[in-house]
Amino acid sequence: MKSGEPPRLETNCIFCKILRGEIPCFKVHEDDDILAFMDINPIAPGHVLVIPKHHSKDILVTPAEWVGKAFAGAGRIAQAVQKTLNPDGINVVQANGPGAKQSVFHLHVHVIPRTMDDGLTMNWDLVPGDMDAIGKLAERIAANVE
């Protein structure tokens, strides 16, 4: 999609069906670009999903314009979650592909309120890596930035 083209929706995508009003949701916010609604399989109370009003399966194929709109919306929703629940922290998570546990193939951003010692397992321990290997991999990735 080129900038300025109208957003597109897919027939069989569950999130596109929610956008069209064919499936109900617990709406938190909606504007011209995004819809934010409660996750009905929440990992924590207050777990909100933010989706762009454009169907693309993940961040790898979504036009930058729509990625930006989704993350800007996630920022606004995170502020509302903070004001409402005053959690100890908030995770903003975006998964791509089955290996990352993406379950709906329409770009979406999770806004997840966190409390200390809530038992959620998406955190990792800080373990220093091999600085030479990290540097070499950084160079390889940098060579592929377009």
* pLDDT the model gives residue 61: 96
Q: What is the pLDDT of residue 134?
A: 84
Q: Predicted confidence band at 127 (pLDDT cuts at 50, 70, 90)?
A: confident
For tokens 């956008």, name the residue: 19
Q: How far is CA 31 from CA 27, 34, 72, 124, in A?
A: 11, 6, 12, 35
CATH fold for the domain made of 14-120: HIT family, subunit A (3.30.428)
pLDDT digits (tens, 9 = 90+) for 8-53: 788 899 999 999 999 999 999 999 999 999 999 999 999 999 999 9
Active site residues: 108
Helix (H) / strand (E) containing 82: helix 64-85
How far apart CA 94 and CA 26 sit, in angstroms, is 20
* DSSP assignment letter at 41: S
- Spans of all domains in the chain: 14-120
Q: Which amino acid is at 116?
A: M
**In degrees to the nearest 10, what's the CA dihedral of 95, 96, 101, 105?**
100
Question: Phi and psi at residue 89, in whole multiples of 5°?
Answer: -170, 170
Distance CA 66, CA 68 (A): 5
* pLDDT winner (highest mean) among 11-15, 135-139, 140-144: 11-15
Quick: pLDDT tens for 60-116.
999 999 999 999 999 999 999 999 999 999 999 999 999 999 999 999 999 999 999
pTM above 0.85, yes or no: yes
Closest CA to 93 of 140, 16, 132, 39: 39
All residues at 6 or more sequence positions from 32 whose CB lies less than 8 Å from its CB, including other chains:
53
